[in-house]
Structure 1
Amino acid sequence: MIVIINYDMANLRSVQKAFERVGQEAQITSDPDEVARASRVVLPGVGASADALAALRSRGLEEPIKAFVASGRPFLGICLGLQMLFDTSYEDGVHQGLGLLPGGVVRFGSQGESPWPQELKIPHMGWNQLRFPPAADGRPCPLFTGVDEGAHFYFVHSYYVAPADDSVVAAEADYGGPFCAAVWRDNLFATQFHPEKSQANGLRVLRNFAELPVVQGAAGV
């Protein structure tokens, strides 16, 4: 069973319907026990990091998420669900993330010598192409099997992740300069774009996720 985590800050039904379109059953839940029993977990999200993190924690979902990732079963974060995986978010203050990946979440154009021109509109909204940087170990990210370099995906965000470890970057996009569009570490996957809104390419990503093997103990917390 694929479990989609409900903390009242995501377009849950759209994600569920997208999985159904690729022949996969997906259950929406906020029950920590159901998260623990799942074969695969998806953490979607829209809105502000601080509110989302507070909502997760108030429902007792932080530790089950960390335990799930440590178990080796496939985990997918989407949009805000990507950003919450990192150490720190700088959205409207400084907020402690889930700490599953090292790095921070920053606003477009907010860092000193930012490459982003001031005239670019924020949020970044609409279709953008992906580039797949070569992995250090030479392995292509299995989430993008069958997805061509330059394929278009749908984005809506004002903040982006800045990983401390470049080796986790599975895909980049460009918005006045390159930014991280997806990450991968062992069984942990996450995208800044919305696969459920990205038509055929997005459905391929979700199908690939649903078909990933389970590797016990692949990623420690």
Structure 2
Amino acid sequence: MLTRKQRDLLAFIHKRMQRDGVPPSFDEMKVALDLRSKSGIHRLITALEERGFIRRLAHRARAIEIVRLPDDLAAQGGGGFQPRVIDGDRPDTAQPDAALPSRARPVAVDAVELAVMGRIAAGVPIEAISEVSHHVAVPGQMVDRGGSHFALEVKGDSMIDAGINDGDVVVIREQDAADDGDIVVALVEDQEATLKRFRRRRGMIELEAANPAYETRILPPDSVRVQGRLVGLIRSY
């Protein structure tokens, strides 16, 4: 049995992971639950982990896996829920399928091939990139069937607290508008492309890093063009 705050936090994390492909920051969780400090979020996260609803992944910044959802939450939009982090165990190929444990049985995967348009800065902006460097296969459920998507390799660590590391490949849905809090590919002065959290404030555009070592860039609206919104992330080990 979850408390109301535990359930609200689990629902918020699930919604953001479905939308962005990465969990929200502790600051965003604090604001969403109207708590005064992040220590309350830490306690709720620990309680959810102890009850088997989430798992924190070691050695990764703010990496959370949702293991399961309560029945009432699943019924409100989490039906068919599967954890976003895939078990990496590799079964013995000589073992017949019927003898494999259920979690290791091969399944048909709906995959989509996307063009990787080069590298995107999650740090100091780099020059905008428009040439395809290679292609990558991504799960079909990561992309919207009605939209156009592309992928970029991340360079830098300014989004590390959003779970985005140097060398990750991000999946981007092409669009020219964004809501406050979206992680976007922004083109600055038609020359530099960067991956940042997008916000509007006092008639200006803020491109916010997810790493306290980097300052938020504040720019006039006519110098920033949104190229797309983050919808997924692929990491290799």
TM-score w.r.t. the length of structure 2 is 0.28
Larger radius of gyration: 2
**Greater relative contact order structure (CA < 8 Å, 6+ sep):** 1
TM-score w.r.t. the length of structure 1 is 0.30
